[in-house]
Amino acid sequence: MKLTLNVWRQDGPGDSGRMVRYEMPDVNPDMSFLEMLDLLNEGLIEKGEEPVSFDHDCREGICGACGVMIDGRAHGPLPGTTTCQLHMRHYKDGDELTIEPWRSAAFPVVKDLVVDRAAFDRIIEAGGYVSVNTGSAPDANLTPVPKDVADNAFDAATCIGCGACVAQCPNGAAQLFTSAKVSHLGLLPQGQTERWRRVRHMVATMEDEAFGSCTNFTECEAACPKGISIDFIAQMNRDFVRARFRDPEADD
Amino acid sequence: MAWLVDFYRSPLAKKAVMAVTGVMLFGFVIGHMAGNAKMYLGAEVFNHYAEGLRTLGAPLLGHGQALWIARIGLLGAVLLHIWSAWQLTLLNRRARPTAYVRRDLINATYASRTMRWGGVIILLFVVYHLLHLTFGSVHPSFEQGNPYHNVVSGLQNPWVSAFYIVANLALAFHLYHGLWSMFQSLGWNHPSYKSARRIFASVFAVLVAAGNISFPLAVLAGIVK
C-alpha cells in the first residue's frame, strides 16, 4: 500500500527541526511500524540521505525503548500497544501519517525521533530500590505476600519506562511513571523499610526534572502500552502527604 | 511551620490544597443553592433566611460575625485555589515548550479540558455577582435589607439572567471534573467507593447547576415575582 509520512527531522539538540514529507509507494501490511521506518531509511540511505533516527531495541513490546507520537497519539492508535507491536495492517492505502518525537521539556530531543529519557533514570535512582541483607538468596516464599497485593504490585511493575504517559499528557507530567515505580515497591513487604523516604525522594526528583503536574485528564492511562492504572497516582498522592505528616522535619 | 511552606512547594501538595479548598467551596455552593431555594417560599421566608445568616451563632457571636468568619474562610480558600492553579498552570506550560504538530486526546473530557477557562468565567461571575447582589453597586434598584426584591428585580433583566445561566453551566463542568478529581488528588480511591466517585461528581454538578439555573428561569417565567 501507499503511504505519505510527515516525519520530524532534527539534526541535533541545537537544531530547530522541521517536518519532512516522505512518499512510501510500497508498504507491506504485514510490516511492523518500525519495519516500515526501516524501509524508509533503506530508501534514504540508497539516495545518500541521512536516515531517520528512532529508538528501538527488543521489538517485542517489552523493553520500552521505542515510542513516537503517531498522529498525535503516543505509540499510535491502538490501546495497550507499543510502536514496535503496531502493524501496518491497521492503516489503509493512501493514509497520511504524522510522526513526531515525545514532546517534553524533561525529554530533550537528541536527534529526529530520539529523545533523552535519562530524567526517568534519575527518578529511579532516587528511590527505586529496596534494602536487603547480603548473603545467600532467601528461601522462596519466606516472606508471605497476599495474592491481591502481589497482583497489584505486579501490575505496577509492568511499567517499561517508555515515557508514553509523559508524551500523551497535555501537561507533560510524569505522575503515572513515578507512581508505578513508587507503588511497585511500596506495596510489597520488602519495600516497607524505605516506603516513606522512597515516595518523598522519587516525587522530589520528579519535580526537580522539568515535568508538569497532574490535572487528572487520564490521558496517561489510556496511552500506556501496559495499561497501568491511575489508581497508582492516587496511592502516590496519599503516600506523599502521609510521608510528610508522619515525619514533618525529615530531610533524609 | 517552615516544613509546611516547604511542603507547599511541591506540585503534589498544591494539588492537595486545590482539593481541600475545592471541597470548602463546594460546601459553600451547595449551601448557597439550598438557601436560595427559599425564594420559592416567598419574600418573607427568603428575607427572614437572609437575616438569619446575620444572626447566626447568637448570642455567642455578634450580629454578622459568623457571616464574616465564613466570608474570610471562603476568601482564603478562593485565593489558595486560584494561586495553586495559576502556579501549576505555569509549570505545565513550561513542561511542554514545543507543541505537537498533530494532537489526538483519548480520554480527556470537555470538562477536564475547560477547567482553567471555566474557572476564569466562574471568577468573573463571582465578582459580578458580589457587585450585583451583595454590594448592589451594579444593581439598578438595590434596596439594603430586602434581598428578595434585589434578586427578583435583578434577574428580570434577561441579559443578567443569561450571564447567571452561562456561569452556572461553567460551574457544572468545573464541578463534574473537580469533584471527581479531588478524590484522585487526595488519594481516595478505595475499591469500596471508587466507582461511586464519578456518580458523586455527576449528581452534585447537575444538582448545583440545575438549582442555580432554576432561579433566573423562574424569575423570567414569572413564577417568582
DSSP string, chain A: --EEEEEEE-SSTTS--EEEEEEES---TTSBHHHHHHHHHHHHHHTTPPPPP---S-SSSSS-----EETTEET-SSTT--GGG-BGGGS-TT-EEEEE---BTTB-EEETTEE--HHHHHHHHTT-------SSPPPTTSS---HHHHHHHHHHHT-----HHHHHSTT-B-HHHHHHHHHHHHTSGGGSTTHHHHHHHHHHHHHHTT-B------HHHHH-TT---THHHHHHHHHHHHHHHHSTT---
Candidates A8, A73, A239; nearest CB to B104 = A73
CB contact under 8 Å between A98 and B102, yes or no, is yes
- Enumerate the residues of chain A whose CB falls inside 8 A of the CB of residue B101: 6, 8, 19, 98, 100
DSSP string, A38-85: HHHHHHHHHTTPPPPP---S-SSSSS-----EETTEET-SSTT--GGG
Residue of chain A whose alpha carbon sits nearest to that of B110? A217
- CA–CA separation, B101 and B224 (whole Å): 53
Residue A22 near residue A7 (C-beta atoms within 8 A):
yes
A81: closest CA among A94, A70, A97, A95? A70
- Enumerate the residues of chain B whose CB falls inside 8 A of the CB of residue A238: 186-188
- CA–CA separation, A107 and A119 (whole Å): 7
Q: What is the pLDDT of residue B6?
A: 83
- Domains contained in chain B, number: 1
Cell of B192: 469500596
Candidates A72, A171, A236; nearest CB to B103 = A72
- Enumerate the residues of chain B whose CB falls inside 8 A of the CB of residue A171: 91-92, 95-96
- CA–CA separation, A168 and B199 (whole Å): 26
Question: Which pLDDT tens digit goes with each residue over B46-70?
Answer: 999 999 998 887 788 888 899 999 9
Regions of chain B where pLDDT drops below 70: none
Cell of A239: 503516600
The domain over range A3-110 is classified in CATH as 3.10.20.30: yes
- Enumerate the residues of chain B whose CB falls inside 8 A of the CB of residue A230: 184
Question: Shortest Cα distance from A219 to chain B (angstroms)?
Answer: 5
| ipTM score | 0.91
Distances, alpha carbon B178 to alpha carbons A218, B122, B165, B200, in Å = 13, 13, 19, 11
**Helix residue spans in chain B (DSSP H):** 2-8, 11-36, 43-54, 65-95, 110-113, 115-129, 147-155, 158-186, 196-220
Question: Which pLDDT tens digit goes with each residue over A78-135?
Answer: 999 999 999 999 999 999 999 999 999 999 999 999 999 999 999 999 999 998 878 8
CB contact under 8 Å between B13 and A72, yes or no, is no
- Enumerate the residues of chain A whose CB falls inside 8 A of the CB of residue B98: 103
Question: Shortest Cα distance from B43 to chain A (angstroms)?
Answer: 43
Ranges in chain A annotated CATH 1.10.1060.10: 117-246
Tell me the average pLDDT across A165-175: 97
Q: What is the pLDDT of residue B169?
A: 97
Q: What is the pLDDT of residue A251?
A: 63
Ranges in chain A annotated CATH 3.10.20.30: 3-110
Q: What is the pLDDT of residue A252?
A: 59
pLDDT at A33 over 70: yes
Candidates A105, A173, A239; nearest CB to B97 = A105
Q: What is the pLDDT of residue B225?
A: 85
CATH code of the domain in which B72 resides: 1.20.1300
- Enumerate the residues of chain A whose CB falls inside 8 A of the CB of residue B4: 248
Cell of B225: 415575582
Residue range of the domain that includes B112? 20-220
- What is the torsion angle, in degrees rounded to the nearest 10, for the CA atoms of residue B18, residue B19, residue B21 and residue B27? 150
pLDDT at A249 over 80: no
Confidence of residue A183 (pLDDT cuts 50, 70, 90): very high
Distances, alpha carbon B35 to alpha carbons A201, B31, B50, B205, in Å = 47, 6, 9, 17
Residue B144 near residue B136 (C-beta atoms within 8 A):
yes
Residue B18's Cβ-side half-sphere holds a number of Cα atoms within 13 Å equal to 33
- Within 10 Å of residue B122's Cβ, how many Cβ atoms? 21
CB contact under 8 Å between B11 and A248, yes or no, is no
Choose between A139 and A22: higher pLDDT.
A22
pLDDT at A250 over 80: no
Residue B65 lies in a domain: yes
- Enumerate the residues of chain A whose CB falls inside 8 A of the CB of residue B14: 213
Fold topology of A117-246? Fumarate Reductase Iron-sulfur Protein; Chain B, domain 2 (1.10.1060)
Residue A123 near residue A107 (C-beta atoms within 8 A):
no
- CA–CA separation, B178 and B171 (whole Å): 10
Residue A228 near residue A158 (C-beta atoms within 8 A):
yes
Residue B12 lies in a domain: no
Residue A188 near residue A96 (C-beta atoms within 8 A):
no
Residue corresponding to grid cell 527488543: A58
SS3 B106: coil
Residue B114's Cβ-side half-sphere holds a number of Cα atoms within 13 Å equal to 14
Residue corresponding to grid cell 427559599: B38
**What is the count of residue pairs from A and B with beta carbons less than 8 Å apart?**
137
Residue B14 lies in a domain: no
Tell me the average pLDDT across A172-190: 96
pLDDT at A39 over 80: yes
CB contact under 8 Å between A219 and B107, yes or no, is yes
- Within 10 Å of residue B180's Cβ, how many Cβ atoms? 21
SS3 B94: helix
B41-65: b (≥16 Cβ within 10 Å) or e: eebeebbebbeeebeeeeeeeeeee
